[in-house]
Amino acid sequence: MQLKYLTVLAESCRKVFKEMTTTSVMDVKIKKDERLKEIYAIAQVVPYEDLDKKVGGNFLMGFSDEPMAILVASAIAENLGLPPIKSFDETAKDILGEFMNTIVGHTITAWDKMGFRVRFQPPTSVRYANIREKAYASDEAYMIILSLSIDHIVFKVTFRNADKQLAGRRIMVVDDSMVIRGIISKALQEAGFTVEQAEDGLVATEKYKKFKPHLTIMDLNMPNLGGLDAIIQIREADPQARFIMLTTSARKDEVVTAKTLNVANYVIKPVQMKDFLPIVRKALE
């Protein structure tokens, strides 16, 4: 995500927080956040997407503990002439929701003037939940940290290219390890793909006929029918079939055979999904 958009978000967070709480902000920092999965005691989540539906993500305001959320809600309530907030009740949710709504509204108004036209949904309040971002290869996350005299507030924005043209593509995962099949399949499903599993090459050749995947992720060493033989059989029925080969070794003869079979990529286990998903997308494109 471009720094100019993050700078606008940071300034909106600082300005709105100061105006709605009458609390001074000592410092504002922008940092890239690699943790796309995080647990927050209290969170306000606002999904957004651009008008062309090519880019999307979430704005998120998260509190590590409930007392801090109550403190901020109470400061806003006092500034509005309302009674102090003593617990995280519906009033507190409503106040923090309006607070988040105002920050996002100011941000996208400025983005619109910069040529980045975005629509957003109303805030959703979430308690003690894992705010999970799907594992898209293009995911980026950034933190806006407001340093206060008493503590700090963290705002988070995620940004991803939607890759609508790849959504729903069919992928078959073939591996004799139930654990590996499950991990890869889960990550692919979270990324928006339709997934079928097979425990060996023999099962894969049968399932291929009905499922007709756009891409097959094929383990090399499996019982009943190995990956290379399975690819040969599938290619006889579908010469355009696409494959990514998984293996624990990289013997020269195997690599040469894989290249001969026009395999899109040759991946050595263990599979790191943050690195593997871009490979999958490139193979599909």
Task: Please state the separation of Cα 143 from the chain's center in Å.
Answer: 15
Q: In this predicted model, what pLDDT tens digit does every residue of 221-264 receive, in sequence order?
A: 899 999 999 999 999 999 999 999 998 776 677 777 777 788 88
Residue 158, pLDDT > 90, answer no
* Residue 248 and residue 113 share a domain: no
- What average pLDDT does the segment 22-38 reach? 79
* Residue 200 and residue 111 share a domain: no
Task: Choose one of 161, 192, 218: the last residue of a domain.
Answer: 161
* Residue 144 and residue 17 share a domain: yes
Q: Where are the alpha helices (DSSP H) in the chain?
A: 3-21, 66-79, 90-113, 178-190, 201-211, 227-237, 252-260, 273-284
- Give the 3-state secondary structure of 6-70: HHHHHHHHHHHHHHHHCCCCCEEEEEECCCCEEEEEEEEEEEEEECCCCEEEEEEEEECCHHHHH
Q: 256 lies in which domain range?
A: 164-284
* Residue 150 and residue 221 share a domain: no
* Residue 168 and residue 128 share a domain: no
Task: Choose one of 105, 140, 161: the last residue of a domain.
Answer: 161
Q: What is the DSSP letter of 82?
A: P
Share of the chain above pLDDT 90, in %: 45
Work out the pLDDT band at 137, boundaries 50, 70, 90. Answer: very low
Distance CA 51, CA 85 (A): 38
Residue 200, pLDDT > 90, answer yes
For the chain, how big is the Rg over CA atoms in Å? 24
Q: What is the CATH number of the domain that holds 153?
A: 3.40.1550.10
Predicted confidence at residue 99, as pLDDT, reads: 94
pTM of the model: 0.61
Distance CA 6, CA 213 (A): 39
* Residue 211 and residue 138 share a domain: no
* Residue 129 and residue 257 share a domain: no
Task: Choose one of 108, 134, 161: the last residue of a domain.
Answer: 161
* Residue 121 and residue 51 share a domain: yes
* Residue 254 and residue 238 share a domain: yes
